[in-house]
């Protein structure tokens, strides 16, 4: 499709309808765009705030055609979408990120091979497609190790830490013949991420690295900015730019990094869309990640990613609802604290229902305020 600028008044199409789509849709509406959402579910977080919610399977070519005819440009809010759906849409409407980007980033083995071929530092890994490769992987990488399904994994899903050969065999059997990746277990000092955008002409803008703290493999807190050296910060941003350029990607990309206990920076995973670790930008950055995604896919000038002040984001999982409705009034008595709820009808343990962002004069002050606000929800 010929590149063009899609100004306010145009219609943005979003594949996927979760909370990332919701926050993107709200941003698009603020800037004067109409929004159509496409996913297999109805009354979704994004669908609740969109102008039109189309409910159909991602493999429904007729529904995809109808969706494409009603929008001016299409983007995604998560990457576990068949690449064929993007390719079909691309016949009628511009799609960003481009299908080849999704083909790489939705598959752990292709992603790691792509990064390794670029010379980007990653955790040592081997492909595992049968028992023989599983055993060879253990011999090469040693134990402990981590076994991950090659496709459709997030929030710790599709991965198991291996301590013994028996555990490895049981884990591989549980994955029922899916293609897998085995990684060496690496002792970490911390985890950080960088979110950046690249326009069609190569213009690049990056948010500063943030620190991510996980609980049960799900992001618990994000602290902005990460307390790392200037050299490491510059290295993380430079690696992110290299990856975007190698993908020839137009869009928004989150690069998740490990920092080892030896201070080495390793790329863990890529996400070609807004990311949970970027939610703090709504209140704390000049241009938040959702507006940046809208700008880049619509061909508008990229926004300023500068941090206004330190911030901390706390995820709100369904566990908070297990003892009844959280105490919103008490938590919101603190300031500056900002609440975002995603419109999900059912609270389940481990399900992301919303988040809190707190601002402060320092990262530590913001973190303490975010902790205090979330603790008040369960009083």
Can you tell me the distance from the alpha carbon of 371 to that of 215, in angstroms, rounded to the nearest whole number? 14
What share of the chain in percent tops pLDDT 90? 94
- What are the backbone angles phi and psi of residue 355, rounded to the nearest 5°? -155, 160
Confidence at residue 323, expressed as pLDDT on a 0 to 100 scale: 87
Domain 11-95 fold: Rossmann fold (3.40.50)
Using an 8 Å Cβ cutoff, are 245 and 229 in contact? no
Determine how β-strand 11-15 pairs with β-strand 34-39.
Answer: parallel
User: Between these two residues, 78 and 379, which has the higher pLDDT value?
Assistant: 78
Coil vs helix vs strand at 25:
helix
pLDDT at 372 over 70: yes
Q: What is the mean pLDDT of residues 215-240?
A: 97
What share of the chain in percent tops pLDDT 70? 98
Q: Measured in Å, how far apart are the chain's first and last C-alpha atoms?
A: 54
Coil vs helix vs strand at 355:
strand
| pLDDT grade for 378, boundaries at 50, 70 and 90 | confident
Can you tell me the distance from the alpha carbon of 351 to that of 21, in angstroms, rounded to the nearest whole number? 16
- Give 86-122 pLDDT, tens digit per residue: 999 999 999 999 999 999 999 999 999 999 999 999 9
**Measured over all CA atoms, what is the biggest interatomic distance in the chain, rounded to whole angstroms?**
59
- Give 14-59 pLDDT, tens digit per residue: 999 999 999 999 999 999 999 999 999 999 999 999 999 999 999 9
CATH number of 124-184: 3.30.1490.20
Residues 6+ apart with CB under 8 A from 2: none
- Give 114-168 pLDDT, tens digit per residue: 999 999 999 999 999 999 999 999 999 999 999 999 986 665 568 899 999 999 9
Confidence at residue 312, expressed as pLDDT on a 0 to 100 scale: 98
C-alpha distance from residue 266 to each of 72, 107, 194, 259, 261 (Å): 38, 18, 12, 6, 11
Can you tell me the distance from the alpha carbon of 102 to that of 30, in angstroms, rounded to the nearest whole number? 28
Can you tell me the distance from the alpha carbon of 289 to that of 280, in angstroms, rounded to the nearest whole number? 9
Confidence at residue 117, expressed as pLDDT on a 0 to 100 scale: 97
| pLDDT grade for 379, boundaries at 50, 70 and 90 | confident
User: Between these two residues, 73 and 152, which has the higher pLDDT value?
Assistant: 73
Domain 188-376 has CATH 3.30.470.20: yes
- What are the backbone angles phi and psi of residue 64, rounded to the nearest 5°? -65, -40
pLDDT at 317 over 60: yes
Confidence at residue 335, expressed as pLDDT on a 0 to 100 scale: 96
Can you tell me the distance from the alpha carbon of 61 to that of 225, in angstroms, rounded to the nearest whole number? 43
C-alpha distance from residue 331 to each of 6, 338, 368, 372, 375 (Å): 40, 10, 13, 8, 8
Confidence at residue 152, expressed as pLDDT on a 0 to 100 scale: 67
Q: Where are the domains of the chain?
A: 11-95, 124-184, 188-376
- What are the backbone angles phi and psi of residue 205, rounded to the nearest 5°? -140, 135
| pLDDT grade for 2, boundaries at 50, 70 and 90 | very low
Residue-wise burial string across 138-160, b where 16 or more C-beta atoms lie within 10 A, e elsewhere = beebeeebbbbbbbebeeeebbb
- Give 261-297 pLDDT, tens digit per residue: 999 999 999 999 999 999 999 999 999 999 999 999 9
Q: What is the mean pLDDT of the chain?
A: 95
pLDDT at 1 over 60: no
| Element of type H or E holding 20 | helix 19-30
Annotate 90-102 with DSSP letters as a single string: HTTS-BSS-HHHH
């Amino acid at each position: 499709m010929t590149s063009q600028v899609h100004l306010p008044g145009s219609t943005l199409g979003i594949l996927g309808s979760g909370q990332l789509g919701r926050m993107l849709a709200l941003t698009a509406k603020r800037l004067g765009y109409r929004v159509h959402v496409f996913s297999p579910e109805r009354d979704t977080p994004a669908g609740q705030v969109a102008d039109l919610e189309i409910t159909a399977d991602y493999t429904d070519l007729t529904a995809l055609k109808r969706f494409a005819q009603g929008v001016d440009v299409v983007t995604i809010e998560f990457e576990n979408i068949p690449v064929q759906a993007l390719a079909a849409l691309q016949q009628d409407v511009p799609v960003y990120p481009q299908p080849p980007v999704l083909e790489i980033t939705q598959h752990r083995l292709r992603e790691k091979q792509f990064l390794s071929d670029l010379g980007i530092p990653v955790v040592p890994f081997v492909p595992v497609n049968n028992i023989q490769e599983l055993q060879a992987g253990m011999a090469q990488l040693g134990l402990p190790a981590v076994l991950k399904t090659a496709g459709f994994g997030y929030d710790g899903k599709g991965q198991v830490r291996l301590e013994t050969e028996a555990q490895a065999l049981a884990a591989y059997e549980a994955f029922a013949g899916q293609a897998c990746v085995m990684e060496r277990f690496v002792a970490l000092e911390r985890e950080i991420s960088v979110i950046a955008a690249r326009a069609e002409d190569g213009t690049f803008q990056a948010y500063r690295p943030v620190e991510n703290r996980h609980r049960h493999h799900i992001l618990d807190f994000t602290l902005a900015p990460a307390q790392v050296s200037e050299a490491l910060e510059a290295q993380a941003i430079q690696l992110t730019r290299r990856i975007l350029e190698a993908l020839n990607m137009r869009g928004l990309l989150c690069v998740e990094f490990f920092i080892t206990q030896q201070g080495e920076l390793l790329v863990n995973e890529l996400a070609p869309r807004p990311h949970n670790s970027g939610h703090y930008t709504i209140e704390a950055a000049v241009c938040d990640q959702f507006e940046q995604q809208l700008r880049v896919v619509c061909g508008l000038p990229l926004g300023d990613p500068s941090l206004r002040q330190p911030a901390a984001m706390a995820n709100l999982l369904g566990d908070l609802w297990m003892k009844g409705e959280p105490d919103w009034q008490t938590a919101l008595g603190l300031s500056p604290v900002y609440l975002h709820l995603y419109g999900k009808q059912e609270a389940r343990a481990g399900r992301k229902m919303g988040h809190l962002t707190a601002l402060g004069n320092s990262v530590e002050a913001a973190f303490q305020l975010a902790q205090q606000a979330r603790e008040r929800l369960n009083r």
